[in-house]
Amino acid sequence: MTIVTIPTQPFAGQQPGTSGLRKKVVVFQQPHYLENFVQALFDSLEGAAGQTLVLGGDGRFHNRAAVQTILRMAAAKGFGRVLVGRGGILSTPAVSCVIRKHRAYGGIVLSASHNPGGPEGDFGIKYNVGNGGPAPEKVTEAVHARTKELRSYRISDAAAPDFDRPGTATIEQTAVEVIDPVADYAALMREVFDFDAIRGLFARGFRVRCDAMSAVGGPYAKAILEGELGAPAGTVVNAEPLPDFGDLHPDPNPVNAEDLIAHMAAADAPDFGCATDGDADRNMIVGRNFPVAPSDSLALLAAHATVVPRYAKGLAGIARSMPTSTAADRVAQALGIPCFETPTGWKFFGNLLDAGRATLCGEESYGTGSDHVREKDGLWAILFWLNILAVRGGSVESLVRAHWAQYGRNYYSRHDYEAVDSAAANALMAELRAQLPGLAGQRLNERRVALADDFAYTDPVDGSTASRQGVRVIFEDGSRIVYRLSGTGTEGATLRVYLEMYEADPARQDVPTQTALAPLITAAGALARIEQHTGRATPSVVT
């Protein structure tokens, strides 16, 4: 076995976004493309020699080939040990769990999250640091800078070992240990939740339909829900991870998880519906004919957190991304704890969690988590809901309606305009930003603007800053319109428009969401001239 140096040339556009580097599979299949990025990453890591690296992904197309390459490059880098999930499989929250449990130097996650898979689909790679969370911007910026100057990469000429069976092999001086992808994560869930209470729920005949969307969450959900908690066989559907996700779009929202929505609207619907996404870090919760908005889910989990053993002593604080609705803020105020507003991207929660200033955190894009790991965690959220239902009783709908009655309802929706021409999307945002100084005091569709800005954030722990994180238009009645460009797509740009309106009166909390938000939707389209810039009269996806 020999470590060889391969000449290469830089590739343009290898800049990690909020969730790493995502491109089409065919882009990653180019000779040297993955190797260049991995070498740039390894060159940016100091003190990695002899350390432990965690490696795994969501099983999408190109996952196995990427694992083989990275194992050989990790050996060339001089890592002492690589923990790789059996079959190359590890969910994103499981990677975080394994890093933390084994005190690894860091980990590589191979996933494009909720993006489509298969040969024509998307692939992604991101790096998580020693706390288990996504690399901060200083690391991703260093990696990007290195990609632009790279002229060679180092790789072992040895064949990658078999990673389909547990055991340990060696490449060069690096031990490659194949681990059970579920074991460490399942052990952590036993510590967090009252498994006896949840077992009792299933023993009483409580029925669940959990759709893993043919993605990596399946093995975890089957092992825990069916294997440990006593849910009947078949509770978890689409449970086998497939390279193309069975032609499903592994994004757990009412549009893409339409099969789950249909089952939950049937006359014989289960008591509880749920889904996880491509890498199992997102979740969707559905009652009988009653989808739960992600922002409401975060707020409700916070309000009932003390029924879960890990959070029995209360929460230190809540953190939410800026576009996420302010429902969680109202719970935090009632509990007398802070609610932090951060930019979009899970990495911004890490410092708050590490410093003990926040316990629960969430994003509007079906991501919820806590200080048990440093990633959002889909199955954790599902177990949290089941723990609450086991203790509080009632149904999903009754819990949510009781929450609205106590705290008020935040009508909330996200309108996505996908694959928009990048130049047109940037022009739209530039035009919006130019209007900001004069918006305060103006009326938009009968609402007076109280504040209009481009959200900026100063981390209360380390003082780091992030600017230009999304345009906010906040009205005097607390309603909001937020515009931002997403970094998770692989074609063109995705314009996201977030709309929020608060309603305290329980008698007015049953209006269909899009009807309640209609005046804001009209105002948002007119202010940003969305149709004129994008050519789109309607959004691609409404959630």
Query: C-alpha distances in angstroms, 24 versus 8, 124, 125, 489?
Result: 21, 8, 12, 10
Q: State the DSSP code for 508.
A: G
Of 273, 168, 183, the C-alpha closest to 223 is 183
- Give the pairing of strands 167-171 and 236-237: unpaired
Phi-psi region of 378 (alpha: psi -120 to 50; beta: other; left: phi over 0): alpha
Per annotation, catalytic residue among 19, 44, 111, 113? 113
The SS3 of residue 524 is: helix
Sequence-distant (6+) residues with CB within 8 A of 508 are none
Q: Can you tell me the distance from the alpha carbon of 158 to that of 170, in angstroms, rounded to the nearest whole number?
A: 10
Q: Can you tell me the distance from the alpha carbon of 358 to that of 374, in angstroms, rounded to the nearest whole number?
A: 12
Sequence-distant (6+) residues with CB within 8 A of 222 are 236, 239
**Ramachandran angles phi, psi of 131, nearest 5°:** -85, 0
Q: Can you tell me the distance from the alpha carbon of 283 to that of 248, in angstroms, rounded to the nearest whole number?
A: 16
CB-neighbour burial class of residue 512 (10 A; exposed 0-12, middle 13-18, buried 19+) = exposed
Overall residue count recorded for the chain in this entry: 543
Query: C-alpha distances in angstroms, 503 versus 297, 318, 498?
Result: 17, 22, 17
3-state secondary structure 405-422: HHHCEEEEEEEEEEEECH
Q: State the DSSP code for 356.
A: T
Of 503, 500, 532, 494, the C-alpha closest to 514 is 500
> Is there a catalytic annotation at residue 152?
no
- Give the pairing of strands 457-458 and 447-454: unpaired
365, two tokens: 């894009």
Active site residues: 113
